Structure 1
């Protein structure tokens, strides 16, 4: 698989940081505070421009998140 090098779309910098977060989606998830949407972020280390990518969510973790509330 070919690996591409990161280049910021705003300033052309090649340095980046990646992270992830989860968010709720839909009425059922909001009522029970279930974070069933997972995203990966890629942020430029120079200007802070950030891109979001939707990640596959594991249903087992969703159930665990619901139970632990």
Structure 2
């Protein structure tokens, strides 16, 4: 007999790994259990404006803000995204770029 894992014992990294690897068509209750455990673990600091779910995932994004930067292969635009793990709605926020970081980008490339 199959028993569902206790996702509350998982770390955040393990929960995200499980979320991306579980087959949600074959195991919909496990997929939902993982999302619910993520929302509980992350607390109430995030509520999706589209669906109201409390689980999210973040990423860093680096982009060229001008044609010249694109030609020089420099990315001075630094953003982070917050994506709802239920519906996928994503918001982008600009990070302040440091002068040192921009200089490092020029010398590393």
TM-score using structure 2 length: 0.56
RMSD of aligned Cα (Å)? 1.3
Once the two structures are superposed, the pairs formed by residues 1-69 of structure 1 within 5 Å of their partners are 5-69=45-109
CA distance in structure 1 between the partners assigned to 2:67 and 2:85 by the alignment: 36
| Structure 2 portions without partners, runs of 5+ | 1-43
Looking at secondary structure, tell me which structure has more strand per residue: 1
- Provide TM-score, normalisation by structure 1: 0.84
Q: Which has the higher contact order (CA 8 A, sep 6+)?
A: 1
SS, match of residue 62 in structure 1:
helix
Moved over 3 A (4+): none
